[in-house]
């Protein structure tokens, strides 16, 4: 969504989009179920939305960024509606909004219950394909950034058939998503596995808040990879969490019970799961047969796996869902590498802090796609950047396919040792294991090198944060510590030094 929205904002300037799959496939954006958070109601305000964002982020949200993003939210929802997104409406034409966890107001605009991401992406893909200034290269993956003296000179691309090739431009926007599929249990598409993070880090970019991964509490536990999501809106509609004995376990844990912040619900479900209590989401009395029409994606995934959501509770398990960390950007969406902008989940702008407020992910992707592309327009008009000379220091890339079994080993290590509940000892195990994989397989596949770099950064930052905050929970340091009340910043060199020291 970030990439497409930015390309449209840049029109009529010439833009090339690189996409490994046909546009809209295997992007988290197309899978988003809840919607976009925005203070659309006349009784709601961007200030209240910013305040909820700061509270959810558990002490380390950049309040200026929260104010900036929430103030821009309405404008971008209206823009999406203008280009044809069929948001759910009330009889009087106002937006129908869901209330999601940790929001003080019903402020999430949605489409047919759980279809927001798919509907917005369909709308944007259509617009992009109808915009003559945009060229789309489908079936192409970015492998490596070419950087000289900390300035972008080009990107190495591969299409799996021919030799890797280089593309150059006056400015580069990376919008290649988060890192969920670096973990074994995830709700993210398989291509969303830290490639942007790893690529930028290998090129020297500063990384922020890498330790903060949000585990969605209610992925469906149906032995599917990726795990389908039982959207939070179900709990917003009154669905309850029960264990195998039918006991509603959230009431004893948090005053907001099922609508407590995601990390608290995720840990409660994880513990029930570890104790063999088979946690499940029970939608029967709150939603009943309406689940079929109101939440078609959820119903379809259940029915495919032999669960009838009208009559049976849905088995759930926490799964890696959203990366609050990413490539560090300034307020304009620029990375520490000259000429490289980052938008969407690949970035770490400071909006989410230690924990993302529900439905702020798509919002950030939209606001920062617009902000970054405006920055690019300004930079190009001011002749700040040129297309780099032809004597490029082209890196040697490996484009062998890595055995999926090796990737699975990495993902298992991340889920087992850097997952919902962490300890220093486990994280050290993960870092030693990532090093072993690097020694055995590093340099053969640049894609895998990017994954290893991303995994190293997430684990190293998790090792160093000796406290529990937001999505990062350390069993050996279960409390918050004021000395850590700041965002983390790291580069790959420092993370590798730590990895080698363990
Ligand atoms: C199941 C699910 C439900 C969600 N629900 C919500 C919700 O209701 N509201 C909300 O706000 N957020 C939600 N989120 C989070 C939100 O969808 C994401 O944060 C957001 O879509 C990220 O957008 P993006 O444009 O940054 O990345 P994506 O939409 O993930 O797009 C990244 C693109 O980059 C491509 N790519 C990856 N690597 C490379 C490479 N090396 N070279 C070239 N291209 C590459 C990918 O194929 C993909 O097309 C949800 C996420 C999931 C997984």
pLDDT grade, residue 390 (50/70/90)? Answer: low
Q: What is the distance in A from the centroid of ligand 1 to the CA of 121? A: 11
* d(C-alpha 27, C-alpha 362), whole Å: 12
- Residue 223 has a pLDDT of 83
Read off the pLDDT of residues 349-366 as tens digits, 9 standing for 90 and up. 999 999 999 899 999 999
Nearest to 214 by CA among 354, 107, 80, 75: 354
Q: Looking at the predicted structure, is the pLDDT value of residue 340 above 80?
A: yes
* d(C-alpha 259, C-alpha 110), whole Å: 18
Compare 101 and 383 and report the one with higher pLDDT.
Answer: 383
- Residue 395 has a pLDDT of 76
Question: Cα 84 to chain center, whole Å?
Answer: 25
Interaxial angle between packed helices 63-82 and 360-381, expressed in degrees from 0 to 180 and rounded to the nearest 10: 90
Determine whether 262 is an active site residue. yes
217-320 folds as Flavocytochrome C3; Chain A, domain 1 (3.90.700)
- Mean pLDDT calculated for residue range 291-319: 94
449 contact partners, CB below 8 Å, separation of at least 6: 198, 202, 398, 438, 442, 443
Q: Looking at the predicted structure, is the pLDDT value of residue 463 above 80?
A: yes
Q: Looking at the predicted structure, is the pLDDT value of residue 131 above 80?
A: yes
Read off the pLDDT of residues 66-120 as tens digits, 9 standing for 90 and up. 999 999 999 999 999 999 999 999 999 999 998 888 899 999 999 988 899 999 9
Q: Which of 193, 262, 465, 474 is catalytic?
A: 262
DSSP conformation letters of 55-107: HHTTT---HHHHHHHHHHHHHHHHHHHHTT----B-TTSPBPEE--TT-SS--
pLDDT grade, residue 398 (50/70/90)? Answer: confident
- Residue 113 has a pLDDT of 82
Element (H, E) at 19: strand 15-19
Mutate to test the pocket of ligand 1, among 179, 361, 370, 446 (most ligand atoms within 8 A of CB): 361
Q: Is the CB of 340 under 6 A from ligand 1?
A: no
Listed by start position, the domains of the chain span: 217-320, 395-501
Element (H, E) at 145: strand 141-148
252 contact partners, CB below 8 Å, separation of at least 6: none
Q: Looking at the predicted structure, is the pLDDT value of residue 124 above 70?
A: yes
- Residue 450 has a pLDDT of 97
b vs e for 411-437, b when ≥16 Cβ sit within 10 Å of the residue's Cβ? Answer: bebbbebbbbbbebebbbbbbebbbeb
Please tell me if the domain spanning 217-320 has the same topology as the one spanning 395-501. no
Give the chain's mean pLDDT: 95
Q: Looking at the predicted structure, is the pLDDT value of residue 452 above 70?
A: yes
Residue 390 token pair: 């032809």
- Residue 262 has a pLDDT of 85
Q: Is the CB of 228 under 6 A from ligand 1?
A: no
**DSSP 8-state secondary structure symbol assigned to residue 228:** P
b vs e for 277-299, b when ≥16 Cβ sit within 10 Å of the residue's Cβ? Answer: bbbbbbbbebbeeebbebbebbb
Whole-number percent of the chain with pLDDT over 70: 100
Question: What separation, in Å, do the N-terminal and C-terminal C-alpha atoms of the chain show?
Answer: 39
* d(C-alpha 192, C-alpha 352), whole Å: 19
CATH class of 395-501: mainly alpha
* d(C-alpha 12, C-alpha 30), whole Å: 25
Read off the pLDDT of residues 2-13 as tens digits, 9 standing for 90 and up. 999 999 999 999
- Mean pLDDT calculated for residue range 173-177: 98
Q: Looking at the predicted structure, is the pLDDT value of residue 394 above 80?
A: no
- 3-state SS class at 392: coil
pLDDT grade, residue 387 (50/70/90)? Answer: confident
* d(C-alpha 415, C-alpha 319), whole Å: 9
**């510590």: which residue's tokens?**
481
Q: What is the distance in A from the centroid of ligand 1 to the CA of 122? A: 14
Q: Looking at the predicted structure, is the pLDDT value of residue 171 above 80?
A: yes
Mutate to test the pocket of ligand 1, among 29, 97, 138 (most ligand atoms within 8 A of CB): 29
Q: Whose CA is nearest to atom 37 of ligand 1?
A: 176
Read off the pLDDT of residues 33-73 as tens digits, 9 standing for 90 and up. 889 999 999 999 999 999 999 999 999 999 999 999 999 99
Task: Name the pTM for this structure.
Answer: 0.96
Q: Whose CA is nearest to atom 17 of ligand 1?
A: 29
443 contact partners, CB below 8 Å, separation of at least 6: 398, 449
Q: What is the distance in A from the centroid of ligand 1 to the CA of 50? A: 22
* d(C-alpha 40, C-alpha 283), whole Å: 28
């Amino acid at each position: 969504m970030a990439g497409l929205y930015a390309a449209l904002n840049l029109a009529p300037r010439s833009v090339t989009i690189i996409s490994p799959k046909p546009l809209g496939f295997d992007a988290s954006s197309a899978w988003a179920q809840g919607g976009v958070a925005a203070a659309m109601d006349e009784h709601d305000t961007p200030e209240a939305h910013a305040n909820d964002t700061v509270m959810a982020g558990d002490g380390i949200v950049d309040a200026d960024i929260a104010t900036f993003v929430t103030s821009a939210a309405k404008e971008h929802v209206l823009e999406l509606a203008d280009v044809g997104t069929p948001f759910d409406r009330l009889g009087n034409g106002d937006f129908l909004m869901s209330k999601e966890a940790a929001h003080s107001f019903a402020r999430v605009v949605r489409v047919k219950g759980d279809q927001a991401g798919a509907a917005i992406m369909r709308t944007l893909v259509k617009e992009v394909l109808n915009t003559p200034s945009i060229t789309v290269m489908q079936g192409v993956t970015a492998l490596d950034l070419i950087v000289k003296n900390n300035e972008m000179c080009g990107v190495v691309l591969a299409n799996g058939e021919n030799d890797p090739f280089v593309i150059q431009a006056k400015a580069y926007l990376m919008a290649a998503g988060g890192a969920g599929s670096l973990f074994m249990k995830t709700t993210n598409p398989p291509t969303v596995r830290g490639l942007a993070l790893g690529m930028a880090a290998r090129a020297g970019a500063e990384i922020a808040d890498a330790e903060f991964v949000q585990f969605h509490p209610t992925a469906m536990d149906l032995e599917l990879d990726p795990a389908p999501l039982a959207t939070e809106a179900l709990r917003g509609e009154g669905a309850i969490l029960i264990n195998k004995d039918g006991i509603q376990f959230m009431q004893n844990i948090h005053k907001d019970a099922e609508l407590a912040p995601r990390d608290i619900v995720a840990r409660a479900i994880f513990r029930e799961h570890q104790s063999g209590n088979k946690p499940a989401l029970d939608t029967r009395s709150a939603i009943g047969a309406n689940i079929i029409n109101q939440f078609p994606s959820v119903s379809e995934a259940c029915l495919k796996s032999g669960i009838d959501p009208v009559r049976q509770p849905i088995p759930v398990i926490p799964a890696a869902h959203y990366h609050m960390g990413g490539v560090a950007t300034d307020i304009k969406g620029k990375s520490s590498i000259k000429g490289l902008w980052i938008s969407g989940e690949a970035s770490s702008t400071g909006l989410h802090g230690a924990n993302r407020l529900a439905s702020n992910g798509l919002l950030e992707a939209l606001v920062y796609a617009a902000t970054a592309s405006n920055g690019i327009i300004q930079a190009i008009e001011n002749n700040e950047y040129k297309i780099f000379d032809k004597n490029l220091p082209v890196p040697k890339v490996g484009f062998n396919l890595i055995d999926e079994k090796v990737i699975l080993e990495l993902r298992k290590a991340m889920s087992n040792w850097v997952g919902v509940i962490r300890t220093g000892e486990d994280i050290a195990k993960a870092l030693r294991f990532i090093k072993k994989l690097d020694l055995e397989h590093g340099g053969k596949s640049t894609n895998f090198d990017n994954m290893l770099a991303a995994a190293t950064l997430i684990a190293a930052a998790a090792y160093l944060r000796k406290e529990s905050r937001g999505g990062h929970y350390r069993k050996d340091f279960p409390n918050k510590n004021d000395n850590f009340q700041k965002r983390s910043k790291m580069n790959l060199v420092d993370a590798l030094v730590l990895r080698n020291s363990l």
